[in-house]
Amino acid sequence: MEGANTAITTTRLADYQPPVYRVEQVTLDVDIHPGQTRVTSELQLQHNPDSDQPAGELVLNGEALVIESLNLDGETLTQDSYHYDGHLLTVRDLPAQCVLTSVVTIEPEKNTALEGLYQSNGMVCTQCEAEGFRRITFFPDRPDVLARFTTTVHADKATYPLLLSNGNPVDWGEEGTRHWVTWDDPFPKPCYLFALVAGDLACLEDSFNTASGRPVALRLYAEHRDLDKLDHAMQSLKNAMRWDEQTYGREYDLDIYMIVAVSHFNMGAMENKGLNIFNTACVLAHPDTTTDAGFQRVESVVAHEYFHNWSGNRVTCRDWFQLSLKEGFTVFRDQSFSADMNSAAVKRVEDVDFLVNHQFPEDQGPMAHPVRPAEYQKIDNFYTLTIYEKGAEIVRMQYNLLGPEAFRRASDRYFEQFDGQAVTCDDFVACMEAESGLDLSQFKRWYSQAGTPVLTVTDEYHEGQYTLHVRQHTPATPGQPDKAPLVIPVKLALLDSNGQAVAMDEQGNRETVVIVDQSEQSFRFAVPEAVTPSLLRGFSAPVVLDYPYTEAQLATLLAHDSDGYCRWNAAQRLYFSALDRLVGDPGQAQSEALALKPVLERVIERAKEDPAQAALLLTLPTEVALGDRHSPLDPRAVHQARRALTGALGQVLEEQWQAQQQAWQRQDFSMEGDAIGGRQMRLLALGYLAAAGSAGVTETVGELFGHPLCMTEELGALRLLVHHGLPGADQALADFAARWQGEALVMDQWFAVQATCPGEDTVSVASALLDHPAFEWTLPNRVRALVGTLVNANPVAFHAADGQGYRFFCEALARLDAINPQVAARLANGAARLRRLEPQRQAMLEKGLQGVQQKASANLSEVLSRILTDRS
Ligand code: 0A1
Ligand code: ZN
């Protein structure tokens, strides 16, 4: 059983030792039979001269494997020459060079943890990152052991007509009702990049000619019913391949690139060499079933996994502490790609919005950890927003410090120097230093120091001299009480009273970057008048900016700043200050809305220039973000404040919203940028009108639901009906379910719409949905859609005063942990705000979590104990 809280061990970066043996070649034979799969592995081992341990003893990972035989250089190993405790296999008296053969059996059918080899809707597939390979066979399961893999898969021909693994197919044959295929991967790789798929799948095939003229076969596989949902992923893949050639000079290296869509998957997707395995949610897309946001997600995840072929696969991580080496860099690469494919300004704001609303809270709570952690219990728990998103910001800062040319030279150096090796974040930064001449030693504190720095800025103007006084402070985080100053690049401009950027130096530059690298510093500029600072342009560093902007200054920035991030940030600040005043006093919403009206009118007027950007500027902060500003959290007051302001803005700008919802109405479906932005604006406008109870809005939304051009409209309309309790909402939910019951990803949305309906009653709705025939505990997407969204995006329900939200959550955690500890542990992060709750709620949630903790798996236990022992 998965949920046994045994063998919790801590792994420390400081204890790193090179492997004692290297694996030169792995020859695997995977024989798939119902109920039992037999895995034969032949490892060609060689003592590692870099190890200070002598040859002789080898410790291999192997999780719950049933041993049939072990054999060393052709001789059967007897029980006294090895020891296996269910986790580690220790073999003694090995020569410096030898061949170890093992035959084990495993049961993919029973694997609900979805690590190692498992079943999903009749197919068999793998997930090996971070430590899944040890559930398939014995191996030194660590990323610095790079081996060549040759893999033969045998299975029943009718059930599994398709047999895939990494590299190129080199041999195949038939054995009665069974068949086999041998795959050879010429590139040495760590075992976390191993993949295998057996199934009956449909294929979309295309090809790509690399810049140097090599043809690559592109094959995208999915269940037969989903074959019509692969075109967007294919186009995204080809765009990503071209982009990586043009932007980083990186070509694809094998003859085949495959992606397989699977329904049961713990994360988004996996970059296995030549054989990516994707959560269906991140690869399938069709306008009838996928929202615009879904399309964008597919584009970015396909690119992300493709970019890993260099940043992760060709150059990999020495150990899991270096995870951000591949993930932060690859997220930076996929963000840049999406910016180039779409609107760069909108993409940057979306990325920053995500970072500040999700990674910042992580970095300010009990789960805070450095981008390069010093220790962990379960590495699965460290696939975090800090590793990914903050890691990407750290690479972005280096990109901006070096400039595009030097950064490109540095990335070329990194890929060339370390090709085929397992390296560290220090190696990456060393390349940046070598190509730029910069000393990045202080900058590297970004990797080792957790927490979000706060930059406190004040200013003064005297007779032509404008001075910015800057202080930096990083609050203490668990295990790191004292923080040293970081290198914080602050990009800024100074706006005059008309909102125009003034010249800041003798060359007439209207934008500059100052480097804040001490606790306190001042920066002086000669300017002709008092100015409004436009700070942290482009979000030049992942910090909290504390500057006492007046509302008039914010209005100027929102109306005139040429920087998309600064405009968005100005809008957020205006909303937050209005909402802060309304928490506990929602009756003033009308006057707050009237005060915001003139500035927002100007934003709405400009919506035709860039509707997607306008929609971002006109979206209020979430209840979660607003709640984080009020201590202790009062979820009802927060909900009422936001609801009241939405309604009041709907009312005072009713004419404008009406005009917008009409202006962006379309007769034909299109995926052009303006069409997508237009849909966002239209749904946003309808949301404000619905909140205001505007006449006719029910009919308009009902009409949109009944005759949508695409899933964005259909789901958007459904959400408005349900979340605003409009007449016809229940019927719409029933119609939607009847229509889409056969489409799992659409049904996920159906569950999520209901789970995010703001209100305490939602908990009983969600509890009832746990018994819905379409709800499945073994399907992570479904669990996230119902339980994850309620916990993370519906604070008024989760924190319901009577504790029913907490009971729902804790019962779900316990139930899920017995099935899938990784997903349960991730879900548990929803309780990270425990210590910010008022005493009664805190006591209820704490008690519930303690109950779960008693029987928790190692994964879940690590997260729960960090939350429960938090004393911040
Ligand atoms: N490397 C993948 C993410 C990933 C990590 C762990 C997984 O299973 C536990 C699966 C995928 C990526 O960055 O896309
Ligand atoms: Zn990744």
* Residue 70 near residue 100, CB atoms below 8 Å: yes
ipTM score above 0.95: yes
Q: Are 101 and 26 in contact (CB under 8 A)?
A: no
Nearest-atom number in ligand 1 for the CA of 327 is 13
- 326 Cα–ligand 2 center, Å: 7
Close Cβ partners of 844 (under 8 Å, ≥ 6 residues apart) = 803, 806
**Residue 82 is assigned to a structural domain of this protein:** yes
Token code pair at residue 270 = 């996996």
Q: Which of 383, 384, 388, 820 to mutate to test the pocket of ligand 1 (most atoms within 8 A of CB)?
A: 383
Asked if residue 131 belongs to a domain, the reply is: yes
Distance CA 781, CA 278 (A): 12
CA angle 483, 486, 492 (to 5 degrees): 135
> 123-127 and 196-199: which strand pairing?
antiparallel
> In residues, how long is the chain?
872
Q: Are 818 and 829 in contact (CB under 8 A)?
A: no
Distance CA 639, CA 670 (A): 35
Give a yes or no: residue 488 inside a domain. yes
DSSP string computed for 365-394: STT---SS-SEES-GGGG--HIIIIIHHHH
Q: Considering every ligand atom, which ligand is closest to the CA of 126? A: 1
Task: Tell me the mean pLDDT in the region 120-134.
Answer: 98
> Which CATH number goes with the domain that contains 767?
1.25.50.10
For atom 9 of ligand 1, the residue with the nearest CA is 129
CATH number at residue 139: 2.60.40.1730
**Is 339 domain-assigned?**
no
Q: Which residue in 421, 425, 316 sits closest to 370, CA to CA?
A: 425
357 is written with which tokens?
């609303």
Q: Looking at ligand 1, which residue's alpha carbon is closest to its atom 3? A: 270
Judge contact between 355 and 393, C-beta under 8 A. Answer: yes
The catalytic residues are 305
Which range marks the domain in which residue 501 is found? 458-564
Q: Using a CB cutoff of 5 Å, list residues around ligand 2, an ion.
A: 327, 330
Report how far Cα 405 is from the mean position of its chain's Cα atoms. Answer: 29
**Taking each helix axis from N to C terminus, what angle separates 804-817 and 762-769, rounded to the nearest 10 degrees?**
30
| CATH code: domain of residue 464 | 2.60.40.1840
Distance 427 CA to ligand 1 centre (A): 23
Q: Which tokens belong to 10?
A: 């801590």
Phi, psi of 339 (to 5 degrees): -60, -40
Q: Is 60 exceeded by the pLDDT of residue 248?
A: yes
How far does residue 387's CA lie from ligand 1's centre (Å)? Answer: 12
Nearest C-alpha neighbor of 531 from the set 602, 459, 431, 591: 459
Dist CA 137 CA 37 (whole Å): 11
pLDDT of residue 6: 54
- pLDDT per residue over 425-474, tens digit each? 999 999 999 999 999 999 999 999 999 999 999 999 999 999 999 999 99
Residue owning tokens 């004692």? 20
Express each pLDDT in 782-805 by its tens digit: 999 999 999 999 999 999 999 999
pLDDT over 80 at 7, yes or no: no
Mean pLDDT of 534-543: 98
The CA 170 to ligand 2 mean position distance, Å, reads 29
Instruction: Give 383-396 pLDDT, tens digit per residue.
Output: 999 999 999 999 99
Distances (CA, A) of 43 to 60, 73, 837: 11, 10, 54
* 131, 266, 267, 382, best to mutate for ligand 1 pocket (most atoms within 8 Å of CB): 267
Mean pLDDT score, 328-355: 98
Terminal C-alpha separation, the chain: 35
Within a domain: residue 555?
A: yes
Atom of ligand 1 nearest to the CA of 822: 9
- With a cut of 80, say whether residue 361 has pLDDT above it: yes
Mutate to test the pocket of ligand 1, among 129, 265, 386 (most ligand atoms within 8 A of CB): 129
Ligand 1 atom with the smallest distance to the CA of 380 is 9
- Pairwise CA distance, residues 338 & 361, whole Å: 25
Which residue, judged by its Cα, is nearest atom 1 of ligand 1? 270
Are 834 and 870 in contact by the 8 Å Cβ rule? The answer is yes
Closest ligand to Cα 279: 1
Select from 564, 581, 603 the last residue of a domain. 564
Residue 217 maps to a domain: no
Look at the chain and report how many structural domains it folds into: 3
When the pLDDT of each residue in the chain is averaged and rounded to a whole number, the result is: 97
Query: Which SS3 state, helix, strand or coil, does residue 18 take?
Result: coil
- Would you say residue 135 lies in a domain? yes
Q: How confident is the model at residue 871 (pLDDT cuts 50, 70, 90)?
A: confident
**Exposure string for 706-718, b = 16+ CB within 10 A, e = fewer:** eebbbbbbbbbbb
Which pLDDT score is estimated for 1? 36
Q: Residue 2: is its pLDDT beyond 50?
A: no
Under a CB-based contact definition with an 8 Å cutoff, are residues 329 and 391 in contact? yes
Which residues have any ligand 1 atom within 6 Å of their CB? 127, 129, 266-271, 304-305, 327, 380, 383, 822
227 is written with which tokens? 């074959």
**pLDDT (average), residues 689-697:** 98
- Cα(127) to centroid(ligand 2), Å: 14
Q: Among residues 564, 588, 622, which one ends one of the domains? A: 564
Which among 489, 392, 385 has a CA at the least distance from the CA of 440?
Answer: 489
Tell which of 178, 200, 222 closes a domain: 200
Does residue 4 register a pLDDT over 70?
no
* Token duo for residue 405: 């040319």
Query: How does pLDDT run across 813-845, given as a tens digit for each residue?
Result: 999 999 999 999 999 999 999 999 999 999 999
Taking 3-state DSSP, the helix, strand and coil percentages for the chain, each rounded to the nearest 5, stand at 45, 20, 35
Residue 8: pLDDT band by 50, 70, 90 thresholds? confident
What ligand is nearest to the CA atom of residue 135? 1
165: Cβ contacts below 8 Å, ≥ 6 apart: 149, 151, 153, 181, 183, 185, 194, 195, 196, 197, 275
For residue 334, report the distance from its CA to the centre of ligand 2, in Å. Answer: 10
Nearest CA to ligand 1 atom 2: 270
Q: For residue 47, is it within any domain?
A: yes
Segment 701-726, tens digit of pLDDT: 999 999 999 999 999 999 999 999 99
